[in-house]
Each structure stands twice: as C-alpha cells, then as structure tokens.
Amino acid sequence: MLRIEIYPIMSGLAVRANTCYSNGLPKQAGDGAMAVTRVIPSETIETVGITEALRDQLLDLVVLYPGLFEKAID
C-alpha cells in the first residue's frame, strides 16, 4: 500500500509518499520500506493552482521513483 500525505509548511506544501502495510502502518527497513518527500513552493501554487501543482508532484513520483510503487505492491 502507498500512503500519500500532504502537509502545509512555511514555504508551500510538503508531499510525502511512503510504503506501508495494509493496516496503514509504515513498512520497516527489512520489509521494503521506501519514502519520498517533495516540496511544492508557494510561488508554484500561486501560479498554477493547488490542483495542478499536486498533480505535477504526483506524476513526478510515478516517473522519478518507480521503485516506490513496486515496493508498495509487495
């Protein structure tokens, strides 16, 4: 399972994706744990809007971190 969390921070939004078990608890290091955190700057959100900015970040996660999705399925 893949858990995606979005948090407001001082400079924009933090998008964190991490692999977890089906009960929602994060996987441990020996069980194929992987996590990625990306930041969307406030300027980007103001320019393209929050929906487009989030879509771009989620698409980047799929393209730049394919192992994240492979480990989420295990």
Write out pLDDT tens, residues 46-66: 999 999 999 999 999 889 988
Rounded to an integer, what distance in angstroms lies between the CA atom of residue 66 and that of residue 27? 17
Phi, psi (degrees; rounded to nearest 5) at 46? -65, -35
Domain boundaries, the chain: 2-73
pLDDT value, residue 9: 95
- pTM for the model stands at 0.79
Rounded to an integer, what distance in angstroms lies between the CA atom of residue 48 and that of residue 18? 26
Write out pLDDT tens, residues 33-46: 788 899 999 999 99
Question: Which amino acid is it at 27?
Answer: K
Cβ-contact 33, 19 below 8 angstroms: yes
